[in-house]
Chains A and B, each alone.
Chain A
Amino acid sequence: ILNVEQSPQSLHVQEGDSTNFTCSFPSSNFYALHWYRWETAKSPEALFVMTLNGDEKKKGRISATLNTKEGYSYLYIKGSQPEDSATYLCAFNAGGTSYGKLTFGQGTILTVHP
């Protein structure tokens, strides 16, 4: 059973704060690491798919880094806004015979207060 851990479980920040959270995954048999944002009453939305050690991706105020050797990824949000409030999910793909299978972490619930 693959273990994908996210921390913290929840986070409250003030508008304008920058924040970051962590996703830990097995460092062996790495194929890809996905990040999704899931807002209440909506469907999960893809943020990034990361495949290479040292990868850094950016989308507006959100960015992510990847370290496959030690098995972690960080998601950063710069200057948080209330509309960033959502659950942020990471998902690990081990490839091989499990190409199509994503194992999700439990998520980090972010609340940005105006």
Chain B
Amino acid sequence: GAGVSQSPSNKVTEKGKDVELRCDPISGHTALYWYRQRLGQGLEFLIYFQGNSAPDKSGLPSDRFSAERTGESVSTLTIQRTQQEDSAVYLCASSLDYYSNQPQHFGDGTRLSIL
């Protein structure tokens, strides 16, 4: 079956521009997660959704970052006024739900480069 799909796979943009990253989870998965990995660092939690609600936004690095999810399906992560430190691989994952210890299924990621 179809896995988690992310787009674009690569994005190069100039500092100060806004970017939008998209994630299509596995059908039927109610939980969706965003992570990022900056060069030389580990996977860093950003935000998760249960349905269309985000119970924990504590990982968003600044108010330039926002995320939404609609129809308990597609999610977009928006970064406004991008900075060079935003350069990273952004990974999306989904799972059946967030509370019953289901494994997370990851997409291939979006590699974001800020010039």
Q: State which of B4, B48, B106 has its C-beta within 8 Å of the C-beta of A101.
A: B48
Assess A101 versus B42: contact at CB under 8 Å? Given A43-B106, A44-B106, A49-B101. no
- How many Å lie between the Cα of A70 and that of B13 in the bound state? 46
The answer to whether B108 touches A46 (Cβ under 8 A) is: no
The answer to whether the Cβ of B56 comes within 8 Å of any Cβ in the partner chain is yes
Report whether over half of chain B's contact residues are helix, strand or loop; otherwise say mixed.
Answer: loop
Interface mask (B33-67 → A, CB under 8 Å = 1, otherwise 0): 10100000111110010100001101100000000
Interface mask (B88-104 → A, CB under 8 Å = 1, otherwise 0): 00010100001101111
Tally B residues with Cβ within 8 Å of A. 29
- Give chain A residues whose Cβ lies under 8 Å from the Cβ of B42: 89, 104-107
Q: What residue in chain A is nearest B48 (Cβ atoms)?
A: A100
The answer to whether B59 touches A51 (Cβ under 8 A) is: no
Instruction: Write the residues of chain B forming the contact surface with A, with a CB cutoff of 8 angstroms.
Output: 3-4, 31, 33, 35, 41-45, 48, 50, 55-56, 58-59, 91, 93, 98-99, 101-109
Known: A43-B91, A46-B103, A106-B42. 12 other contacts (CB 8 A): A31-B101, A42-B108, A43-B106, A43-B107, A43-B108, A43-B109, A46-B105, A49-B102, A49-B103, A51-B101, A101-B48, A105-B42
A-B residue pairs in contact (CB < 8 Å), sample of 13: A34-B103, A43-B108, A44-B43, A49-B102, A93-B101, A97-B55, A100-B48, A100-B98, A102-B33, A102-B45, A102-B104, A104-B42, A104-B45
